Structure 1
């Protein structure tokens, strides 16, 4: 199976029936292997396996290998993991809004394929296929879009903000064993800057209990808080709009289902307050709050600690006070805030950092 040459990330090897390729990751991405069509028979392996194969080939001029199909493997763990190509935060152009929002399936998705292009997308490939294995954020997007359609059918009166809230607050960020979802690039637990609120849950999203709703006016106030000019705002809002110069706009109070908390670099204790409004879209319940901070340098106090909803569409307001002490510059830490009531858990990720 003597080595012939390197091709991009792969090795072209001699085989009885012609050339074959072993395509190896250049970085150890745990077990993430993307399936793609190729012009020659190809085996895809991770970097660790690729290094072992290259070492074996280099050590023996008569090296041999056999590839056998062992059937479809189900229940492979850990799964899911944040893909290497996943869009990641933070977004420095809009502080106070944690991004990304959520993650969804995007690796090795069986998808319809246009007959106008070959499955490899190469011009000299004459083959055509009705389906292809595709990976990318362009595959995660239709999964979330499909869930949004189902939500709109189930709850036609919900606003886009309410649907986004349901997708985010019901997302999961741990495996069944309780351990945090992993980032395939680092092999470590993913942070809210990697997965946002977590991985979408197509069942729980239909009945989230509470939602963080928002109107057009809420977003206009947010743009005013970011000191956007009337001309710039008009590029988003196709109407004449002027920020009220006598009003104090606070970007912290955009009713978003997550929290991004930039903290001043000044030494000493810093206190920041955020206000949120929850709308009941489930059965009447009394919710109790719980918080988690992954650093002792930031504490959180929620007022009130308990919210009772007695009817549908009832709204309740709460405030979160973040108190930071002795965080070094350029430090990022994370936390979580959850409201629990009856069968519902309404969960929000938090990122706080010293700029």
Structure 2
């Protein structure tokens, strides 16, 4: 159904969950270079124009095409808003309505599929989006990449990057992270939060209801994650915003050192 990355946390920045998304990547009919044989071995002298292939390189064009679709519908959206719209509208079940599994047939986690499997028709109408990557890039690189952007004096932690997914590595007791959501749905709308916390953790959202009166209106909130009892492994949960029509779903990944 899809192509996954390897199991495990993001080693570049463990407080940002990766991958973001998964997309069709299994047995995809794709163009094939005539300079390379299908098997890529010396004994194979065949020349073909197309090949059935699998992998992340097959998933990538699907995501790129969906990004172009969302950009065509919303030409004023930033690349971050487009990415996050795709992420929060993904599904966590396969075409049979069963949980997504990885190569060995076991249930997959956000370490395999990110927020889930891409749904193009829902990505163009996500209801809410997260936006803003510049603060994180400034913190990471130490450079002001956009002079027109009002950078904060104290950059937030990577866990507080305004990202749909929430990842906390090496949690010590509790931590509070910030998020800002932007209404891109109906002008007058209300969203309620539901939380499925990672086993062994408490998750509290400062605003359980978001009320908007205009398109483009933003709401700021905080999410507190507290360890109750857990093992020295990653645990996963979800939090979702819903207005009865849209389901804006985000994974939670937490790890406590015990």
Write the distance in 2 (CA, Å) between the matches of 1:294 and 1:215.
26
Unaligned residue ranges in structure 2 (runs of 5+): none
2:210 is paired with a residue of what secondary structure?
strand
1:298 CA displacement: 0.2
Contact 1:89/1:99 (<8 A) preserved:
no
Contact 2:198/2:254 (<8 A) preserved:
no
Write the distance in 1 (CA, Å) between the matches of 2:92 and 2:162.
22
Indicate how the Cα distance of structure 1 residues 222 and 342 shifts in structure 2: closer, same or farther if over 3 A, else same: farther
Contact 1:90/1:100 (<8 A) preserved:
no
Counterparts of 1:173-192 in structure 2, within 5 Å, are: 173-175=92-94, 179-185=98-104, 187-192=105-110
In structure 1, the partner of 2:167 is: 260
CA deviations on 1:28-47 (whole Å, 9 max, x unpaired) are xxxxxxxxxxxxxxxxxxxx
Indicate how the Cα distance of structure 1 residues 342 and 112 shifts in structure 2: closer, same or farther if over 3 A, else same: same
Contact 2:171/2:227 (<8 A) preserved:
no
1:221 CA displacement: 4.3
Write the distance in 2 (CA, Å) between the matches of 1:264 and 1:300.
13
Contact 1:87/1:100 (<8 A) preserved:
no
Contact 1:107/1:135 (<8 A) preserved:
yes
In structure 1, the partner of 2:26 is: 107
TM-score by length of 2: 0.89
In structure 1, the partner of 2:178 is: 275
CA deviations on 1:23-81 (whole Å, 9 max, x unpaired) are xxxxxxxxxxxxxxxxxxxxxxxxxxxxxxxxxxxxxxxxxxxxxxxxxxxxxxxxx3x
Contact 1:165/1:211 (<8 A) preserved:
yes
TM-score by length of 1: 0.66
1:213 CA displacement: 0.6
- Structure number with larger C-alpha Rg: 1
Which 4+ stretches in 1 moved above 6 angstroms?
none
Write the distance in 2 (CA, Å) between the matches of 1:189 and 1:203.
25
Candidates 120, 125, 129, aligned match of 1:202: 120
1:117 CA displacement: 2.4
Unaligned residue ranges in structure 1 (runs of 5+): 1-79
Write the distance in 1 (CA, Å) between the matches of 2:38 and 2:229.
55
Write the distance in 2 (CA, Å) between the matches of 1:117 and 1:92.
33
In structure 2, the partner of 1:49 is: none
1:183 is paired with a residue of what secondary structure?
coil
1:220 CA displacement: 3.2
Contact 1:104/1:140 (<8 A) preserved:
yes
Write the distance in 2 (CA, Å) between the matches of 1:122 and 1:308.
60
Write the distance in 1 (CA, Å) between the matches of 2:163 and 2:33.
38
Quick check: 1:299 aligned with 2:202? Answer: yes
1:136 CA displacement: 1.2
Count of aligned pairs: 253
- Give the CA RMSD over aligned residues: 2.3
In structure 2, the partner of 1:287 is: 191
Indicate how the Cα distance of structure 1 residues 350 and 281 shifts in structure 2: closer, same or farther if over 3 A, else same: same
1:222 CA displacement: 3.8
Candidates 296, 302, 323, aligned match of 2:226: 323
Write the distance in 1 (CA, Å) between the matches of 2:237 and 2:251.
6
Indicate how the Cα distance of structure 1 residues 273 and 188 shifts in structure 2: closer, same or farther if over 3 A, else same: same
Counterparts of 1:75-94 in structure 2, within 5 Å, are: 80=1, 83=3, 86-94=5-13
Quick check: 1:168 aligned with 2:87? Answer: yes
2:120 is paired with a residue of what secondary structure?
coil
Indicate how the Cα distance of structure 1 residues 175 and 125 shifts in structure 2: closer, same or farther if over 3 A, else same: closer
Counterparts of 1:131-146 in structure 2, within 5 Å, are: 131-146=50-65
